[in-house]
Amino acid sequence: MGWLDPHQRGPIIAVSGLLLVGFVVLHLVGVGLAPLAPERFEAYASALHHRWWLPLAEGLLLLVTLAHAGLTLAAQQQNRRAGNTAALASRRGEPLAAFAARSQPWAGAALLVFLVVHLAQLRWVRPADGAELAALHQALAAPWAAPVYLAAAGALALHVLHGSEAAHRRLGLLDPGNAAAIRLGGRSLALLLAAGFAGVTLVLAANPAPVVP
């Protein structure tokens, strides 16, 4: 099929991945208000949930996620059939980058499983206005919840660490002149996202009672 052509697949994987990273950054900015400014978080969440365009944005996000996951899986299967393991190893020989590359299938699968869990907790039964923070506390109240959220933050870090460079390579934007800056930017973003989501999880899990009266 044309949309599965390897020459077309790479740019789509790259662009969809960058779009998802952009969403994750925006999501962290929003959810980061929960432990820092609870009242502003409740106002932000309530306003967002009443936007007419939110279902359209969520539908588009779902399509982007499915395209990214499906095309990435197709690329990995093709590499295995061709006996090509280069995509699973770091081209720089660095242990962390090599581990991030090899862990991509597992990290991606873990993020998809987490996404289902997260949506089941907080989206498919959407909290009422003013109850978003209480719903977050309730979601993290189960003994398994915080470890799962922390593991997802780690999987996200590995995915972004490898994917940020891979996306630029697939788009033909990686060259010796900017490679170091792109790698540093990718690693910094991966660390920021992991630390941010882990921090929110730990703070909310450590304070089980809702902060907002």
Query: Where does residue 139 rank: exposed (0-12), middle (13-18), buried (19+ CB within 10 A)?
Result: buried
The pLDDT value recorded for residue 61 is 96
What residue ranges define each of the domains in the chain, with the CATH number in brackets?
2-206 (1.20.1300.10)
What is the mean pLDDT of the segment spanning 107-131?
Answer: 92
pLDDT at 85: 52
Q: How confident is the model at residue 97 (pLDDT cuts 50, 70, 90)?
A: confident
For the cut 50, the answer to whether the pLDDT of residue 1 exceeds it is no
Sequence-separated (6 or more) residues with CB below 8 Å from residue 142:
none
Structure tokens at 171: 């788009």
The mean of the pLDDT values for the chain is 88
Given this model, what pLDDT does residue 94 score?
Answer: 75
- Give CA–CA dist 94/109, Å, rounded: 24
Give 57's pLDDT tier (boundaries 50, 70, 90).
very high
Mean pLDDT, range 138-162, rounded to an integer = 95
Separation of alpha carbons 140 and 149, rounded Å: 9
Tokens of 105: 């299938």
pLDDT at 136: 93
Q: Minimum mean pLDDT among 3-12, 127-136, 152-161: which range? A: 3-12
- The pLDDT tens digits of the residues spanning 161-212 come to 999 999 999 999 989 899 999 999 999 999 999 999 999 999 999 986 544 4
pLDDT of residue 5: 67
| Local confidence band at 21 (pLDDT 50, 70, 90 cut-offs) | very high
What mean pLDDT comes out for the span 6-26? 92
What mean pLDDT is predicted for residues 68-93?
A: 70
pLDDT at position 133: 93
pLDDT over 70 at 86, yes or no: no
Residue 24's alpha-carbon distances to 27, 36, 72, 78, in angstroms, are 5, 18, 19, 28
Residue 19 has pLDDT above 80, yes or no: yes
